[in-house]
Structure 1
Amino acid sequence: MRTLSTSLLILLGSILAAADATLPNWPNHGTIFLLTDRTGVDLPATESVTDFPLLVRLQGEWFPFAQAKPHGEDLRFTDDQGNVLPHQIEAWDPAGGTAAIWVRIPKIIGQQRQPLHVHWGKADAPDVSDGAKVFNESNDYLTVWHLGETPLDATGRLSAKDTGTSAVVGMIGAARHFPGKAGLFVGDKITGLPTGSQPHTTEAWFRPEQANGNVLAWGNEQGQGKVVMHYRSPSHVKMEGYFSDADVQSTPFPAGEWVHVVHTYTLGDSKVYINGELANAAKGRSTPLNIRTPARFWIGGWYHNYNFVGAIDEVRLSRVARSAAWVKLSYANQGTRQSLHGLLVAPGKGEVTLTPATAEIAEGGRLPFTLVAPGAQKVTWIVVRDGREQVIAMDRFRFELVAGRTQGDATVKVMARVVTADGTVDRIATASIREAIPEPKIHLQAPTSWDGRSPLDITVIADNQAALTKAGAGALTVRWQADSFAVTQEARGATLHLKRAQRSGLLTVKATVDNGGIPTTASATIDVREPTKEAWTTRAADPDEKPADHQFYARDDRGEGTLHCNGQLDRPGAKLTLTVTVDGKPYAQQTPTLAGDRYTCAVSLKPGLVRYRAVLTSELDGQKAILHTADDLVCGDAFIIIGQSNAVSTDWGKGEGTYQSEWLRTFGSMSGSPQGLRQWGPAVHRDHQGGKLQVGYWAMELGQRIIEEQKIP
């Protein structure tokens, strides 16, 4: 350890002594290189960007935080001509040895190594960190949200109301965690955002915890009037422009990980980028976007309906469609394994060494490596397992290999790739990993048959649980699969709770189990035999329930509907009679059952293309009175249609729908007004007075087929 400490002190001392005196009053100077050649981002020489907000990540291994002021107030950046560049410090953590600073770079050109000079250590230097000088309309930013400890717009234009998010470790400094019922309300009368079909770019980093939520949304709730970033299942993003030419969705990407999504739009050209790469493009296939002003803006939801669960960081809206080069540089720069800039260069030359050269490590253990690399402009740590290279870390002189899990002994190579002014040098060490943790040996505890109705638990049993626990590897991760056909189910760790099967047949249940190593799978086959007759729950009638004109009665498990007529006697001692006719002919006549002054009566109705009529009369001392009548009653099969488009979509194309039938019934209206709700009648395609008795296209099609084929309402 003494040797390592001496090496680090020599390295930092070399940086402090560097004579980069573009700010001569600052005692300490250093240089960081922007690498756009093949050693870094590998941007084509024909590509360039201007006024780019570069994220500079400082590390305590090569930046002496103790030499700077407590909050980085003395930090300055200059270009090669000595121009002081605007910057904003987003995060500064001397104790943790990390910092994140945004620096506005006048121009970045492909296939270059461009110096960025860093200055610090001036005790009386004022704080000049200013987000509004890094992000503003001069480089086409309209709003930028770093979403740190306090959500603030870096441009200074907008403010947000936080309805219940919390700070978490983000992609860049801190981010905000969105619990699903809270988010950020940026405003509902925002001017200055893109309007009509003006070009723009919407972007964000996010790490989802569950699918089907709105990462962000802006515009207004109207046709072609908004831009919404939806996170959908299976894991992908859909950019919605409310049936406009902005609509486009990405290809799938891994769930539960940080992802960088950028959406660019110009008239007739909508693109979505995932992690710096073009994931899809839609060109001129729909009505143009037409955003109105003032606009609304939410992060984590839309119109105060917050439904995103997970973390969100670095939300931006620009008034131009950013180029593919800009998007590529943004992702390459902002990711934790960023490749755009390097570390502070220590002057001088010397041998590049990596120690230890060889070592042995137990499965699940950790092994530290140390790199000495004078003159390094960039350092990339690569782990090679089974011939596959994986970039693990950037710009560090110390690296800790996490052995992870293995089946049998294994050999891993650790490579430190060092970029210097003279070229690229690879130093490789070998780590032998010794197997030390057993894998689970499992079977499923499951019956051979199931009725598909009684609740059933399937359980994973680890046959070597004692050995796993002794090795400290007894905690099992279980992933269930039971999808031979539709089954209502709930995964409860090591138990799969089956609630109901939707059909009979052979159901295969699989459990994939691991304790951090290679997964093991066990399966069981269950013979599902549903009951020939389902249990039926009879609806309890209301105390004052009576038939209403045009009412529909659903048939039950007996194949009949039930007409209820209940209430309170109008005159004590009166005789009540309920008369039911079918198409004008006698059908049934009953005397209601009395209980004090209350009466109840029920008549079974047969399904068919016929109309029933019900009349309730009372008679006392030879005088008859009609208490209640209901005309045009029908009996058939009832269906509930769920889903906004399935239930109420009325898009029949250019004309109105033509089918209508007196045997197709519905209830209420689409209006929220209580006055429109208590009404039965034939369903209509479109009602222009509150949507009374209106159903959607799908309901009309389904109803027509049932009526014509089965001859029932």
Structure 2
Amino acid sequence: MIMERKDQRTSCRAGVAKRVAARLFGVIATLAVLSSPASAWWNDEWQLRKKISIDASAAGANITDPIGTTPVLIRLHPGNFRFSATKDDGSDLRFVAGDDKTPLKHHIEKYDALLGEALVWVSVPSLPSGAKSEIWLYYGNKKAIPVADAKGSYDPDFALVYHLAERGTPALDSTVWGNNAQSVGQPAEGSLIGTGLRLDGRTPLTLPSSSSLAMAADAGWTFSLWIKPSALQPNAALFSRRNGDSGIVIGLDNGAPFVEVTNAGSAQRTSAGAAIAAASWHHLAVVVGSGRISLYLDGNAYAALDAGLPTLDTTAQIGGSDAVAAAPAPTQPTPAAASGDAASADTNGAPAGTNDAAVAASPTFAGFVGDVDELQISKVARPAGFIRLAAIGQGLDQGKLVTFSVDEETASWLSGYFAVILKSVTLDGWVVIGVLMVMAAVSWMVMFDRASYLRSQAKANARFLKVYRDPKFDLTVFGSGDAEAVASLAGGIGKRDAIVLRSSSLYRIYRIAADEVRRRSARNALPYLSATSMAAIRAALDGGVVREIQRLNRLMVILTIAISGGPFLGLLGTVVGVMITFAAIAASGDVNVNAIAPGIAAALVATVAGLGVAIPALFGYNYLISRIKDLTGDIQVFVDELVTRLAELHSADQPDPVERRMAAE
């Protein structure tokens, strides 16, 4: 029965140890996952980041046509950005693709931390139509250097991009072609996108006649501009370019957008649709490609013309024209219109009423009066999704396309610098660290096991001493011959206490003394113990004390191994790692801090791991040793007390019953 209970206690401790080991390795695995490169930030020197969603799905901007790579305007304000956490000029802004690895080209049109307003253009590659894409914005690094790249933000097919934010200087081209304006315009404060350009109808903005801006016959071409007319004018030219008897004019006729192309004196103009309201912002775009000119208003198809571009390589004007306006010819109704279908359209999706008939010349165009902003000209025909994204993403409805998540604080030390260090650890270092992790696990299991055992010992000893030192308890029970009375301390403990006392070292010492006295007693007679008998009993008790001390110190040697061996094993890993690092540097010939630092830092991880094994083991060992010393002292005091009480109870002057029998024989 006793052996069965011992087996139960052993199995219980083993189960507890297994659970502790499982939790330990679970924590280690979690730490490994958290410190893996997958969860690391693009760069941990940046303190903050936020996710930016570009939603072209039906739930967002609902762009179903192809988009491709395009610059996206990111508007920052106090509602979505912490200006106090970044540099005063915004030079620490970084944009990273959704994979959190690929930096994206960007440049800042405006950054005003005091007013809380920033306009940043980010080149987002391969935006899919009808889907949601994500990029990351990183900021909060006071040591960051400026990396804004306006020319890298636009692909080479952009021939000209004016933000029109200049004051007192000609408009600057943000593309690689450097097509800066040849005249100075009047700035319009508080425009749609920062500062715009104010046109008075008399002083147009002149564009250069560079080769990159030349328009070849029937070539692809895209024009994009934000407009805000002050009043509705007849034949107001927004963009004009003329070479002899050929040219192109984009403008408004009493608020109705139009495109007019003249080839060898023959002019064609798109038919008028619904007019826009004065003093309101609208996005106007023209796309030329495959012998067709498409006019878009606010991202939607407005009109179309079956015609191509003439060859033009002269200067162009924004807000003025020396071209001659064409008198529109009457629009011939189509069969669908004659049948009363007002929603009819041509085969290419242009609205009904498209007019591609040649018209006769009439008076000159007027200069546009109003504000304009964000002029973009491309040498290719941009897809319809590209135009719609620009109209929504740059306008007042940007919230349909671009949304911001909450800020995320920088990664902790575990997924920050520590993650970078762990990525540099070599195979030999991981072997040493693995051995140290096993040592740590074993030492923690030993500390848990010993602490539990010592706690149960102290509790059981306290219960035993309470009954043993009760004045009602008498050691004469040893000679009574009643085994049950001896086991229960003359009835002083119940069945529940008996279970607790099985863990008491003092109770086991007590039973040894009881057995020794019982062997020397005559039938129910009080034994008389001689000095020799007392010495023999004392020897038996000393043997029991040694065995109890061995039980208390069981497995403590593992902690001493962890304390002394852990740092040395970690040092071994560090030395080997440093040797490998210097050998690699010697082989590559690249001697600089960036080449040395990661290897040295990774090599020191082994030493840190060794100390991580030794320090907890040292604290645990000292605590457990102090508890063991206390319990050992209690055992020795109890033995002295027990021997003294036995000597008092059994007079040594009387001959021992065993000796009397031997003398009688």
Larger helix proportion, structure 1 or 2? Answer: 2
Structure having the higher Rg: 2
Larger strand proportion, structure 1 or 2? Answer: 1
TM-score normalised by L of structure 2: 0.45
TM-score normalised by L of structure 1: 0.43
